[in-house]
Structure 1
Amino acid sequence: MTAGGMGSGRSRGHLLIVVLALSGLLLVVLVVAPMLLTTFTLPFGGLGFGADCAEAAADREDLSKTARDDIPEDYLKLYKEHGARIGVQWNVLAAIGKRETDHGRSTLPGVRSGTNYAGAAGPMQFLISTWGGKPQIDVRSEKFNGYASDGDGDGIGDVYNPADAILGAAKMLKRNGAPDDLRRAIFAYNHATWYVDQVLEIARRYAASGEVETLPDSNPLCDPSYVNGAPSRLVAKILDYALAQRGKPYRWGGTGPDAFDCSGIVYMAYRHAGLTIPRTTFGQWPFGVRIEPGEEQPGDLVFFNTGPGTRPDSPGHVGLVVAPGKMIEARCTNCGPIKVTTYRDRPALVGFTRPLENPEVKEQVRRLGLA
């Protein structure tokens, strides 16, 4: 064997080692990278608003011919993306944009600079005081009270920027009752019943169905705000499961996966998080620690004196609190699909409990390392 042959052998050996090393590195990247992406795109509180949600919003076939002809493409994209991001109907956002400034096409004072006679500015006509005190706000560092939002990622909440203004409008509607109590939410935007009527009529004309519809079901990526408000990772996991059941039917005795009753969805949401609580409403009511009204938080249960065999000290209906004043519930066969509803104005509300404070659940959390 010549020196050259020996050299070639070492080179081939070295090349083989390099190839194997690179193959191992590639395997690590292929296996670990998705795990890292999952970890860091799903931060505490739940689910980030990413490309999947934006694409889902853009691909939905829910536009009427009126909407396609009337709404500028860039505004339509923003209405749909920010509506999905916050959890409000895109066509209601679009209807407000139409009513206020014809989707930014108006040449009246206050649309592109300054304010109108009432002090409103921008394509969604925010009062400067409601926006945060001035038209442009550095939302990364300045302290402010208002709806100033950064919809384009530049760190500035600019009331004249359509991306920022539409995101701010979505937040305002959400905070005041949307997507469920639209009349209340729109009235908060402009305190006039005729304005509410006009916005809802425009929204109907923009929807392919001719109706102001609820949001697409079972996609928590498109409605992260409830999960993001969870007080812990554990509660976020409970909410994540429950919210993913939206749109499914009520069925007495149902615990999924296709249908649920009121206590069934609560039971399965907790079970999804690794916890065991009683299966029925009658068992769930005495199980959790009682919570004073106004102190309830996401993950707590809210009970009602309704349903067969119910009485004030033994409520027969339960919902899962997802935000202040909001619960997800499987109500009854004729009440429509599982959805997020309001509870503060509902009759026969008995009280709230916190299953996570039950000693048995605390022990489960400790034993399983779920805290």
Structure 2
Amino acid sequence: MSPLAKTTAGVGCAVVALPLLAVLIVIALLSSILSGGSVSAVPSKYALTDIPPHMLALYQRAAPECPGLSWTILAAIGKVESDHGRHPTMVSSANAVGPMQFLPSTFAEYAHPVPPGGKKPPTPWDPVDAVYAAARLLCANGARGGKNISGAIYQYNHSHAYVRQVLDIADRYQAQATAPTAQAATAVAFARAQLGTPYRWGGDGPAEGGFDCSGLTKAAYQAAGITLPRVAEAQYHATTKVPRGQPLLPGDLVFFGRPGNLHHVGLYIGHHQMINAPRPGARVRIEDYRWQDYWGATRPTARGGAR
């Protein structure tokens, strides 16, 4: 499953035993550079077990090559393509090669500049060269700024099943976020229970035929004992702002547009996803919150709650 081509090679399930000291060193290094944000995601226990330490560090080091790209996406692609280089001589049916399964012609487009530790000349067989090239390829195909991660993965391999597989593995590689309070957890649980409910302009619930975006968030927090205003603009101004750059937490409200024209709101649930009532003709669903006109987030459960 290579960029612009599919591979028929399977992914092995072997887990390489790693010296405890090496694992502890890598954990310490990662802890020193991670900010806790969505891009610098904290590795889960599964990630620390499944990814060789040198590859985990490489994915983390290469991800900033594409601002807004999480190392977990690179790692998930590395898992699917070669089990993190555990199949170093794998060649696909389309002649894609190396740990990130590049067609040589595609690799050549993204091989420069040669990254620190890479080969000169660069080669798709080298893990450092390949992972950096993968980050650049994803960036060129829409991952910059986290705007279209799914689309970038699809361009890496034209398969919707591949996209779902990569996103699922990436989700498992990130330590699970938890709601900051019981009220936030209640709001998220309420919103999840509404999945599939029809969108209805001005709707406050199934009794009115469905929800619109702010009707859903108002009802979710009402179930948690917090009263929000009815419309998105008012909800933004009535709740505590999450400072830009600070990690979002499940239960945060995410807003789109600009103050004075905040036209949409969703309920953040972790891992770049929100539950929202998107538009007429659609249903309440889960989707990536990083829309092009994302403005910011608020935390209704912060001190003072809804203000």
Larger Rg: 1
Which structure has the higher relative contact order (CA within 8 Å, separation 6+)?
2
TM-score by length of 1: 0.41
Structure with a larger share of its residues in helix: 1
